[in-house]
Chain A
Amino acid sequence: MNTRLSLVLAFVLLAASLTGLSAQSGTFDPQKIGPQVGQRVPDFSAPDQKGETRTLQSLLGPNGAIVLFNRSVDW
């Protein structure tokens, strides 16, 4: 292999390994997921425990609402 080709190869290998590294070490940041402060949340429509359909709009009180996303009530 000539010098130039081996240099290119070394560069490609380095770039590939860096990409692999960042993908592996990407730590999850809970602050970055979902709607951020200032953003409007997506509308939804879902049945409640009585089987009645509730929309986001129907849940908002005079000063807004607190919406919790939980794992499960069962475990």
Chain B
Amino acid sequence: MELQGHLDELKRRGLGVAALTYDPVDTLAAFSAQRGVTFPLLSDKGSEIIKRYGILNETTKPGTRAYGIPHPGIFVLNPRGEVVARFFEEEYQDRFTMATVLLHLDGMSRPANTSKGTQLRAAHLDVRLSSTDATVAPGNRFSLLVGVTPGRRIHVYAPGSQGYIPISIKLDANPLLKVQAPRFPPSEEYYFAPLNERVQVFQKPFTIAQDVTINASREAQDALKGMTELRITGTLEYQACDDKICFKPESIPVAWTVKLKPLDREPVKR
């Protein structure tokens, strides 16, 4: 399970971990032994807890294997058991990766490590591309990262800026991907005295997070079969200014390559 690989990090953060399914204890025991799971797998046979949480998938038919499954999702709780964040997807096959859950939890306020990733040539900025996950499966939702360090005395404009080209990331249309709205950290106000104007800018290093989900539809999975990696392309647009002048707007091609792994549908060995 993907969670197992992040256990040390979660323990370091002081977070307990558990996964719950409607499987009986012996199925969970076999799975746990086969996959080396060291965190609690809870058996909600009869789906009583799933129902108590109000997340029973009611589109399934009684008598079928699927009956009793939840709408899959993740709750992040504080020490009092209150929800601080939740991650639920519309499509039943879609899952947030643990790496992107942690990124979402950290928000944009944690100083981003903008020094890692593939460096791009970009005027007035240092731009590095990376990703929360190097390998993903159909249905995985993860984050593509654009780490930006403005040059000396340089600033770029935050989304919503009037009169200047705000920094933006746009991915090229790709039927194998579902694209979310990009996330930006808080911007800061910049006062430009000669024009007596106040604008929202980024001057310090920052990271844009662009979530994408590998499409897990039947058609997409057929197309992805046999592919070992996926190339995701797009464009970064911005206008850099210093404390005196503005430079011409730039449009830089960006690309990420992620490795693909198949969906884990393997039954527990008996």
The answer to whether B108 has its CB under 8 Å from any CB of chain A is no
- Report the separation of the CA atoms of residues A57 and B14 in the bound assembly, to the nearest whole angstrom: 14
What chain B residues lie within 8 Å of A33 (beta carbons)? 54-55, 71, 88
- Report A14-60 residues with CB < 8 Å from chain B CB: 28-31, 33-44, 46-51, 54, 56-57, 59-60
Which residues of A have CB within 8 Å of B43? 46-49
- The residue in chain A whose Cβ has the minimal distance to the Cβ of B70 is A69
Interface of B, helix, strand, loop or mixed by DSSP = mixed
Q: Name which residue of chain B comes closest to A37, CB basis.
A: B83
CB nearest neighbor in A for B33: A49
Q: Does chain B have a CB within 8 A of A1?
A: no
> Of A35, A46, A47, A69, which one neighbours B83 at CB under 8 angstroms?
A35
Instruction: Classify the secondary structure of A's interface with B.
Output: loop
User: Of residues 1 to 40 in B, which have CB atoms within 8 Å of A's CB atoms?
Assistant: 1, 3, 10-11, 13-23, 25, 27-29, 31-32, 37, 40
Q: Quick check: B20 and A64 within 8 Å, CB to CB? A: no
A35→B27 contact, CB < 8 A: no
> Is A4 interfacial (CB-CB < 8 Å)?
no
Contact of A49 among B37, B44, B66, B72 (CB under 8 A): B37
Closest chain A CB from B28 CB (angstroms): 4
Q: Is the CB of B92 within 8 A of A64?
A: no
Question: Is A71 a contact of B65 with CB atoms below 8 Å?
Answer: no
Q: What is the minimal beta-carbon distance from A8 to any residue of chain B, in angstroms? A: 36
- Name 29 interchain pairs, CB-CB below 8 A, sorted by A: A28-B59, A28-B71, A29-B90, A30-B73, A30-B88, A34-B55, A34-B88, A35-B86, A38-B83, A40-B81, A41-B75, A42-B53, A44-B49, A46-B43, A46-B49, A61-B79, A66-B75, A67-B17, A67-B75, A68-B74, A69-B20, A69-B21, A69-B73, A69-B75, A70-B19, A70-B20, A73-B1, A73-B31, A73-B268
Chain A residues within 8 Å of B, Cβ to Cβ: 28-31, 33-44, 46-51, 54, 56-57, 59-75
Given contacts A44-B49, A59-B17, A73-B27, 12 further A-B contacts (CB under 8 A): A34-B54, A37-B84, A39-B82, A46-B20, A49-B32, A49-B37, A60-B79, A64-B16, A67-B17, A68-B74, A72-B23, A75-B65
